[in-house]
Amino acid sequence: MGKYEPVLLRSVGVADSRTLAVYQSRGGYAGARKALTQMSSEEVIEEVKRANLRGRGGAGFPAGVKWTFLPKDRTRTYLCVNGDESEPPTFSNRVLMEHDPHQLIEGVIIAGYATKAQVAYIYLRVEFHEQFHHMQTAVDEAYAAGILGKNIFGSGYDLDVYVHRGAGAYVCGEETGLIESLEGKRGWPRIKPPFPAIEGLFRKPTVVNNVETLCNLPHIIERGADWFLGVGPQGSSGPKLFCVSGPVKRPGCYESPMDITCEELIMSDKFGRGMTDGAKVKAVFPGGISMGVLSADELGMKMDFDDPRNFGLLGLGTAAAVVVNTDTDIREVLRNLARFYALESCGQCTQCRMGTSWMYRIAQRIALGAGRLEDLDLFEEVSGRMGMMPGLSICGLPDGATFPLRGLIQKFRGEFEEHIRNQAPGRADELLTVLN
């Protein structure tokens, strides 16, 4: 990989980067000004479609295409900015809002103009106290400068922006859970269809886009779709943020085209700089935890939108890799993850509510030394009967639970079997009575 100049993170390390004055002095708002004064909404959509900007929130759906699902005859449109960032080991949205809130506001103006939205809500997870403060300060500054509100850049386009904090739940990152939460209700995902583009916030046509997706827009409009298509591999173009955490020398959030491998993200001097002294990779969850797991001999996987499927993963997800070292007991990894999904299932769908808690119970007894060899098959069976893929659930949480959990059992089966065979005799009977 040649030298790459950061685009999305270009303001990190720049003094007072959060202020409007500094943002504008470095060319900020040129993309929004160009869109609103020189392009029609349809032209903006076409440019974003041509760039093939794929959503950075997890599913990789093309943003421009999503915007075309809005009904032509609508009179009210909402834009929801998904800054819930609820996927474990993911913190790229946080970094963007912390260092460059005006970049996000500029993206919101462009997306709002393209979709003809009158109001945009920036939805943040409750723990983002500082980021809420930074975003609100930037929104206030933008209003004071006439960049938000009425007649933006003299274009006749009006947009109001509100920063909203949720109460904190994984499922509030799911777009319809987010919409329910914004409406002041419990963050329960909605049955689809209707999809938000047809009936979303306050039952009106709504677009939900991730923070990082929107931060790409000013650059696409300013530099053009051809520039964007030239960054990284075909089908996975544009600047991308990657997180790396766990026992690596330099955990953090890094920007790169999507032409790097998982191994480079962990080992390269540009990113994670390798494992901490003496540590060796056992497993990596490369796309947040919910996309699945790689074993140590699978690190050649490319961190793009397509290659993860070749390794049995659900997708690239949030491109946030968490590394597990060889000293970690694989049973504890399984138990930890299973606990997360059991706690975060909102409970509306029986197979998700019961399935995630059964998986947690099985994982618990394996971790406590009371596992049975047949538990490994039972685990696979339960996980195969949950989720949107078999058409059983309202949202994708159970799919996101089965990929890492089943992946662990499949890719580390020998290790699980060895632990179970080496358990103290009698322990299983003793603990089964407690756990069942």
Ligand X SMILES: Cc1cc2nc3c(=O)[nH]c(=O)nc-3n(C[C@H](O)[C@H](O)[C@H](O)COP(=O)(O)O)c2cc1C
Q: To the nearest whole angstrom, how small is the minimum distance from the Cβ of residue 188 to ligand SF4?
A: 6
Q: Which does 92 bind (CB under 5 to 8 A by kind): ligand X, ligand SF4, none?
A: none
DSSP strand E in 166-274: where?
Answer: 206-210, 240-245, 252-256
Residue closer to ligand SF4 by CB (options 57, 398) is 398
Q: How many Cβ atoms sit within 10 Å of the Cβ of residue 129? A: 10
Question: How many residues make up the chain in this entry?
Answer: 436
Cβ–Cβ under 8 Å, residues 367 and 358:
no
d(CA 43, CA 391): 37
Partner whose binding site includes residue 398, from ligand SF4, ligand X, none (CB under 5 to 8 Å by kind)? ligand SF4
Q: Which does 345 bind (CB under 5 to 8 A by kind): ligand X, ligand SF4, none?
A: ligand SF4
Closest CA to 346 of 196, 210, 177: 177
DSSP for 145-167 reads TTSSBSSGGGSS--BEEEEEE--
User: Nearer Cβ to ligand SF4, position 44 or 349?
Assistant: 349
Beta bridge partners of 275: 248
Q: Smallest distance from the beta carbon of 343 to ligand SF4, in angstroms?
A: 11
* Spatial strand order in the sheet of 119-124: 160-165, 119-124, 78-83, 206-210
The one-letter amino acid code at 310 reads: N
Q: Which does 394 bind (CB under 5 to 8 A by kind): ligand SF4, ligand X, none?
A: ligand SF4
Q: How far is the CB of 376 from ligand SF4 (least distance, A)?
A: 24
Rg of the chain over all Cα atoms, to the nearest angstrom: 22
- Judged by beta carbon, residue 85 or residue 304, the one nearer ligand X is 85
Task: Between 95 and 395, name the residue whose CB sits nearer to ligand SF4.
Answer: 395
Residue with smaller CB distance to ligand SF4, 204 or 353: 353
Among ligand SF4, ligand X, none, the one that 208 touches (CB under a kind-dependent 5 to 8 A) is ligand X
Among ligand SF4, ligand X, none, the one that 347 touches (CB under a kind-dependent 5 to 8 A) is ligand SF4
Beta strands in 265-369 (DSSP E): 281-285, 294-295, 320-325
C-beta separation of 23 from 17 below 8 A: yes
CB of 203 to ligand SF4, least distance (A): 19
Tell me the sheet residues that pair with 248.
Answer: 275
Query: What are the residues binding ligand SF4 (CB under 6 A)?
Result: 171, 189, 345-349, 352-353, 393-395, 397-398
CB nearer to ligand X: pick between 17 and 210: 210
Residues at the site binding ligand X, with contacts judged by CB under 6 A: 55-59, 61, 63, 82, 84-87, 170-171, 173-175, 208-210, 213, 395-397, 400
Paired tokens of 242 = 């990657």
Report helix, strand or coil for 103. Answer: helix
Q: Which is nearer to ligand X, 9 or 291 (CB)?
A: 291
CB 91 within 8 A of CB 12: no
CB of 346 to ligand X, least distance (A): 9
Q: Which is nearer to ligand X, 217 or 420 (CB)?
A: 217
Q: Which of 117, 154, 161 is nearest to 139 (CA)?
A: 161
181 binds, among ligand X, ligand SF4, none (CB under 5 to 8 A by kind): none
Task: Select the binding partner of residue 353 from ligand X, ligand SF4, none (C-beta < 5 to 8 A, by kind).
Answer: ligand SF4
Nearer to ligand SF4, 236 or 345 (CB): 345
Residue 352 interacting partner from ligand SF4, ligand X, none (CB closer than 5 to 8 Å by kind): ligand SF4
Minimum Å gap between C-beta 420 and ligand X is 31
Burial class (CB in 10 A: 0-12, 13-18, 19+), 234: exposed
| DSSP assigned state of 175 | H
In angstroms, give the least distance from the CB of 288 to ligand X: 9
User: Residue by residue, what is the 3-state secondary structure of 55-81?
Assistant: CCCCCCCEHHHHHCCCCCCCCCCEEEE
* Min dist. Cβ of residue 210 to ligand SF4 (A): 19
